[in-house]
Structure 1
């Protein structure tokens, strides 16, 4: 096994492999993979599994109703070839720390790379609103930015280092990120055990900065059951679920306002429904709320208060259900230290890298909230996530591959 690869050698290898990178990206994008499309998920994970096995990975496939998740172990090589006991799945989660061993020693714990194979786009999108298209350095297509290019980045960096020295790597690619990761969170927790840190391959900020910290995102349904009655003949026999829901939403506004005195909490009433006719007291009503939190304390305070909502009207029933939950990840010193390591890898390639919090949520919310050193946004530059303008700037994909390879070979 050869010694540490130089940044110049990595650059040369990536540039020489650009055609293969492009063709693999095209193959992934042309394979449409909406969330909960099990057969399509099997197809893409079979393809990815074969690719990662070819670079020395041991691939575990976990099939669920949402799709097939992948957990991949790529052992370290050279001075990184002896796995530390705590790096095996089943060991306790590592304490927060920068990605480094003791002075002069190699860190034998794996670095976790996080991605997903599902997209928001339905079947037929390639023939409709978002066809595969290349215009100079701009590549368009469903999922090209969010986030099949990120998966290609992981794969190619390992391929560049296949006969060179590199640290151990663990990779998780889930099939349900775009719908809140309902079936993959347990596997994610297992993947975190014993890692030195984690990198997410979602899109970066528009200027290329990494995402260090993410707002928590929780969807809550408030459902009210009242009692129907004729609105003119027997109004007092009815209990208006709509009126009760309105009062509950006023309460929610007060809960959010109180929490926001300490740190900003966002609350959006996304949908509201109920009732049947203007002359019938409504027996049912519900609203779906979207909540965003910067830190765990405000998150716990608001969600606990919502779970303890009580009816204003005698006889009304109020049910509160959490539909999805990604915890707040408030970045700390360990996250900043990992970002600094990535920045040094970027500097070796002549690229300036910074990091700052992001408003959107993703799989790294859970990771960062558990204290594992984490950065996200390692995907290439581009834009239009979840929009018909989705695209990447191809040279920045090669750039991200080089940065990752440098980081893994340090």
Structure 2
């Protein structure tokens, strides 16, 4: 049943920004959470609705602070990826397909665990499913912040470490766009009256590289570059999106302030630097260590050894961890290939993770 549900979810392709596809999938999740006893509300967003589902507690802990589970239903893959390049495939205990690992496997694990504990005593459970996580959750930050107020702990359904360990901290992640406005001119007849936005952008990206070289433990990836149109026209506009990763908030602030302070090299060129999304660094804490100990005990109750380690990737748990909520991530299935054409999960770990998540809900 778990694998069948996962195949159904993977078949519904949900690229970030495709509101129609994401909302159709949100309909499916909302119906499912309603069947499981949750009260579901939608948070509209132009690029796809987010979901919040609250499940009541049972027994002596019915009035206790809830557990928060964070998930997302967008993927990095475009419509058609399943048919053209990454068909669903099961072989030798491995399942392949777009989104199986990041993170429709996690969604299936959570709903199956909720079904498992439906008649057991447990705390209330709150689920937030975000529609734009893959680009930093720019429209969901306020929602995640509000949903985390007063919870006992937060858990992410993102993929775990390769050995199955949970994630106990994450680097900060910020997307920055540098936009340059120059002046168009004929590239042969009147080049001197033009201002090349592309040349200006190249110089700015070199300046960013030089800036980053002065810091340890900062990652910088120029993910997209756009600009110009014809080789016989001096380009009047250009832009680049840059992804930064930071280990600590002090370095993050220093780098972002320096990038925001960039100025144009060429007279007449205009420069705009904008933060597109931001996830602050979630640093190790005693609260997370204590939560990991509780989860390890829950794991032992179902015959599993649970460990934890820091992670360099970012997710919505960055925000809850940064806010001081005891947080762990990585409750999705074990696999590999996130954002790669060989994306896959180990089929047996789906049921194992269901056992663990159900034990967490029952015991914490």
**TM-score where L is the length of structure 2:** 0.90
Between the aligned partners of 2:30 and 2:234, the Cα distance in structure 1 is 57
Out of 269, 284, 292, the position equivalent to 1:316 is 269
User: Is residue 126 of structure 1 aligned with residue 52 of structure 2?
Assistant: no
- In the other structure, the counterpart of 1:157 is 113
Out of 381, 393, 400, the position equivalent to 2:334 is 381
Question: Counterparts in 2 of 1:219-368, with a 5 A limit?
Answer: 219-228=175-184, 237-258=193-214, 260=215, 263-274=216-227, 283-368=236-321
**TM-score where L is the length of structure 1:** 0.81
Secondary structure in structure 2 of the residue aligned to 1:41: helix
Aligned length: 363
Change (3 A) 1:388 1:229: closer
Which segments of 5 or more consecutive residues in structure 2 lack a partner in the other structure? none
Shift of 1:206: 0.9
Which segments of 5 or more consecutive residues in structure 1 lack a partner in the other structure? 1-19, 83-107
- Deviation string 1:197-245 (CA, Å, 9 cap, x unpaired) is 1100011111111112112222222223334567788666554444443
Between the aligned partners of 1:190 and 1:269, the Cα distance in structure 2 is 32
Secondary structure in structure 2 of the residue aligned to 1:320: strand
- In the other structure, the counterpart of 1:403 is 356
- Deviation string 1:316-347 (CA, Å, 9 cap, x unpaired) is 32211223322222222212222222222222
Between the aligned partners of 2:340 and 2:314, the Cα distance in structure 1 is 17
- In the other structure, the counterpart of 2:7 is 26
- In the other structure, the counterpart of 1:394 is 347
Moved more, 113-122 or 132-141: 132-141
- In the other structure, the counterpart of 1:49 is 30
Between the aligned partners of 1:276 and 1:38, the Cα distance in structure 2 is 29
Out of 63, 70, 73, the position equivalent to 2:51 is 70
Change (3 A) 1:368 1:237: same
Question: Counterparts in 2 of 1:81-100, with a 5 A limit?
Answer: 81-82=62-63
Moved more, 111-120 or 131-140: 131-140
User: Is residue 186 of structure 1 aligned with residue 167 of structure 2?
Assistant: no
Secondary structure in structure 1 of the residue aligned to 2:161: coil
- In the other structure, the counterpart of 1:88 is none
Shift of 1:277: 6.8
Moved more, 64-73 or 202-211: 64-73
Change (3 A) 1:237 1:335: same
Secondary structure in structure 2 of the residue aligned to 1:385: coil
CA contact (8 A) 2:42 2:52 kept: yes
- Deviation string 1:353-400 (CA, Å, 9 cap, x unpaired) is 211122222221222222211111110111222222222112111111
Moved more, 189-198 or 47-56: 47-56
Q: CA RMSD in A?
A: 2.4
Shift of 1:275: 5.4
Change (3 A) 1:214 1:233: same
